[in-house]
Amino acid sequence: MAWFVNHYRCSRCDSTWEDEWSSCPEDECGECGSRHMDPFESEDVTIQIRDLDGGLCSILVSPATAEEDPEYEDMRGDDGEPLIFADRNAAVAYLVANADAIAAAREAAEDEAYG
């Protein structure tokens, strides 16, 4: 599972809303009750950079098993300790450099969780 912030706009009354979920489902308009609205935009927020004290950053990741909540956890290094970065740029650079490995690890975890 990934984690998404889904943005909706009602095609009948033009109201907008957003909802967080582990997929990009249709939703119902809270204003007029119109159903089957598809999100016009979905942000993948599976991985988030978190600001820590002193300008440091860590990386939060929604585990493959998250369904009802993102259940964010610190991304950990090979030593099992949470990864801490000097700033957001360093965290972004790490994510870019390790994108393939992170994606492969998530895929493996999802296979394990869902078969």
Enumerate binding residues for Zn ion (CB under 5 A). Answer: 10, 12-13, 29, 31-32, 34
Which residue, 32 or 108, is less far from Zn ion as judged by CB? Answer: 32
User: In whole angstroms, what is the distance from residue 9 CA to residue 85 CA?
Assistant: 37
Q: What angle do CA 9, 12, 14 make, to 5 degrees?
A: 40
Which residue, 2 or 29, is less far from Zn ion as judged by CB? Answer: 29
CB of 12 to Zn ion, least distance (A): 5
Which residue, 29 or 64, is less far from Zn ion as judged by CB? Answer: 29
CB of 23 to Zn ion, least distance (A): 22
CB of 27 to Zn ion, least distance (A): 11
The three-state (H, E, C) secondary structure of 34-48, written as one string: CCCECCCEEEECCEE
